[in-house]
A and B are shown apart, each in its own frame.
Chain A
Amino acid sequence: MTVTEKEVSRQILQLSGANANLCIRCGRCTAACPVAGQMDQKPHRFASLLLHGQADTLLRSNSIWLCLSCMACSERCPRGVDPARLVEGVRQYAVRPRGMAHFSPDQVPDVVDDEMPQQALMAALRKYRK
């Protein structure tokens, strides 16, 4: 059975633990984000696209890989929506199915150098794969 996009959106909202209904579409998240310029789906669109059942747009976007989880959006959101959690929800949904990892341990030798802290690899493995 295929899951509808609307159902996927609902599941992501639940997974995120954030309450997107609090959003008043003010755009402070996009204004605060250090990488919004490169995102094809800006942070402010996450709440409304998920509420409107359009998760596919977000699952296909580069935004979920660009997001740094720096929490600037969540810190400055006047509504306490916690947009970083919404992005995390989409990202988790994207990487959890088998074979959908964005980054694999096989790539480590290519990216690592002498000084790269373990922390970087650990974080990337946590963020980009399940």
Chain B
Amino acid sequence: MPKIGVFVCHCGSNIAGTVDVEKVAAAARTIPGVVVACDYRYMCSEAGQETITKAIREYGLDGVVVCSCSPRMHEATFRRAAEREGLNPYMVEIANIREQCSWIHKNREEATEKAIVLMRAAVAKVKRDTPLTAGRSGVTRRALVIGGGIAGLSTALDVANAGYEVDIVEKEPTIGGKMAQLDKTFPTLDCSACILTPKMVEAAQNENINLYTYSEVEKVSGYVGNFTVTIRKKARFVREDRCTGCGACMEKCPSRKAKNEFNCGLNTRSAIYIPFAQAIPNVAVIDAQHCLKLQTGKCGVCEKVCAAGAIDYTQQDELIQREYGAIVAATGFQPIRPYQFGEYGYGRYPDVITSLELERLMNAAGPTDGELRCPSDGRKPKNIVFIQCVGSRGQTCRDKSYCSKICCMYTAKHAMLIRDHWPDMDVHVFYIDVRTPGKNFDEFYRRAAEEYQVDYRKGQVGKIYEEDGHLMVQGSDLLEDRQVLMPADLVVLAVAVEPSPDARKLATMLTASMDNNDFFTEAHPKLRPVESPTAGIFLSGMCQGPKDIPETVSQAGAAAAKVIGLLSKKELTANPCTAHPEEVRCNGCGECEKVCPYGAISYEEKELRVMGRREKRRVAVVNTALCQGCGACTVACPSGVMDLQGFSNRQILAEVDAICR
């Protein structure tokens, strides 16, 4: 019979306050096979661990049960202690008598009884534990960053500067993302382009960085350290190696009715275009939807005027396959288009715009050359009304449930800049709360109100309508306890942000989990905030949740540190608690593959000896590098042949027996 030691932790008063720990230890001593059982104030302390290692030595223990906190906290600590003493680390079991017992019960007697049951179950399991050895695999020393906005660029630069190769895949024709569209940034009011473009140039010039613009991830396979990714490089119809970015084609292109995406559709662009002056790469792209040559076969003007001979109407999408050790999702966000809020008239009244549209209307490179004008008729607005929380913080089907986090600050910025440039304009802001946590943030907002006399009104807007040639804003002022009706020339909606619509598709390819809002979820909200629960997948920027630029850059750096940590390893230790089928009994039905969230299960034709006969059979095969040990397949398997190492069916049943006894 294996020799087992049981160690019961007080965790100060966390456990001992509710559970009679001595009684638990005494109960352990009555179980056959338990040769030593004791309690101690802090089992995780040096002295506590010493108690365990000493017992392993003195009693020649085959297995250890620690009754303490959640295994998420100290399982690794106790396993390492056992390993130091020569015991296989997977011969250590944790009975969680804190989170699952002392913290949730008040009655000492009942809690003690439950702690004893949990201990008994762990002892039953450890008796059936087998020593496990973690497998090892190599690491491809190259990272893939998906998204070339400020998040992706920051992560890529940090990883590249540590000496590793990085590929950036960006779906737009240029890197830069949303930050390139912004005019100024809070709370310092630096020009967004002035601080972003050097980063873009740096990325383009960095020897370790390879840019795939106008490209999308098509397929992902493999596992941490060894991903294989297919990238679709969309046809630009312009040869990147030849185009000099001179812009002659854009001038001569006769098709000029396409909406200019970079200016939020506030003006138009030619069918062949470079998104903006500082675009990287500075290479034109043909929008096939609007190109006369590609649509009708008649035109070809750009080809004629291109001195570099870069135009190629026959260009096809190209598929590229590359290997990576780590993948970073940096797919960013988009502001919602608030058509669902019909009472605000977005889409009906041209002078009701979103904040991102306002950025373009205030930007020197925007459609009005930086002169703030009403989109309807180009007049200079006199009264400007901002509405906060449009689509954020709601509970209805039109709203996002979360706070979009950046709007209070950028509206303060907009309001301040408008009052600074055009003091004759009046600015009103309807808000629910003004939320400004962040360094120098509240001071910034107060400056808008105090120095620039921005009219902040605690209230919301119920309806916007046009009357006598201008917009009427019907709102509430809760501090004055009344309804207000004010004319406005321009209404700016601070709309909710949402994850990029492509993120869901990508998450599926990466087997990375997402929340209900389609933001990527982190492995642990506090302790592992930049990792996805899927090994080797990291998160950078808004794709994980709303955040401003400083926070995005910090998170991007943190993701880079995690990537560097992974790529710097010579080899990876795999989790040995993986699934494996009993091949002889497997009938290859396919149920386990269907439920595996990690794509770790495939099928092979294998020659097996069944009842003395040799026969060829389709059987499940688990890629142990991909398997995360979740156990979904073990429950799905109709013939019960799938088992999980370290959590085998017989171990679990033994635990259940111990509990029910």
Residues of A that sit less than 8 Å from B by CB: 22, 24-33, 36-37, 42, 44-45, 72, 76-80
Contacts and interface: CB of A to CB of B under 8 A. Distances in A.
Contacts of A29: 462, 476
B399 A28 contact: no
Given A25-B432, A36-B476, A78-B394, A31 B461 contact: yes
* Most A C-beta atoms less than 10 A away, residue of B389, B459, B460, B478: B460
B459 A31 contact: yes
A44 B478 CA distance: 8
Interface in B375-411: 389, 393-396, 398-399
Given A26-B389, A33-B483, A78 B399 contact: yes
A26 B395 contact: no
B496 to A, nearest CB: 11
Contacts of B462: 28-33, 72, 76
Interface of B: 343, 389, 393-396, 398-399, 432, 458-463, 474-478, 481-483
A26 B481 contact: no
Main secondary structure, interface of A, reads helix
Contact of B483 (A24, A25, A42, A78): A42
A27 B463 contact: no
A25 B459 CA distance: 8
Nearest to B388: A26
Nearest to B474: A31
Given A78-B395, A80-B396, A28 B483 contact: no
A1 to B, nearest CB: 35
Contacts, number: 71
A31 B476 contact: yes
B228 to A, nearest CB: 45
Given A76-B343, A78-B395, A80-B396, A32 B463 contact: yes
Nearest to B390: A78
A54 to B, nearest CB: 15
Given A27-B460, A78-B395, A80-B396, A32 B478 contact: no
A65 B220 CA distance: 64
Contact of A31 (B393, B398, B460, B481): B460
* Most B C-beta atoms less than 10 A away, residue of A30, A44, A80: A30
A27 B478 CA distance: 7
Contacts of B481: 42, 45
Contacts of B393: 24, 78
Contacts of A28: 460-462, 476
A30 B483 contact: yes
A78 B463 CA distance: 14
A81 to B, nearest CB: 9
Contacts of A77: 396
Given A26-B460, A30-B483, A32-B343, A79 B394 contact: yes
Nearest to B459: A27
A30 B343 contact: no
Nearest to A40: B481
A78 B396 contact: yes
B573 to A, nearest CB: 48
A46 B389 CA distance: 22
Contact of A26 (B396, B432, B483): B432
A76 B461 CA distance: 10
A37 B482 CA distance: 7
A41 B399 CA distance: 27
B396 A31 contact: no
Contacts of B483: 30-31, 33, 36-37, 42
Contacts of A32: 343, 462-463, 474
* Most B C-beta atoms less than 10 A away, residue of A26, A32, A36, A77: A26
Given A42-B481, A76-B343, A76-B462, A30 B476 contact: yes
Given A24-B432, A26-B389, A36-B483, A31 B475 contact: yes
**9 nearest interchain CB pairs?**
A32-B462, A31-B462, A78-B394, A27-B476, A30-B476, A31-B476, A27-B459, A28-B460, A36-B483
25 contacts: A25-B432, A25-B478, A27-B432, A27-B458, A27-B460, A28-B462, A28-B476, A30-B459, A31-B460, A31-B474, A31-B475, A32-B343, A32-B462, A36-B482, A42-B476, A42-B481, A42-B482, A72-B462, A76-B343, A77-B396, A78-B393, A78-B396, A78-B399, A79-B394, A80-B396
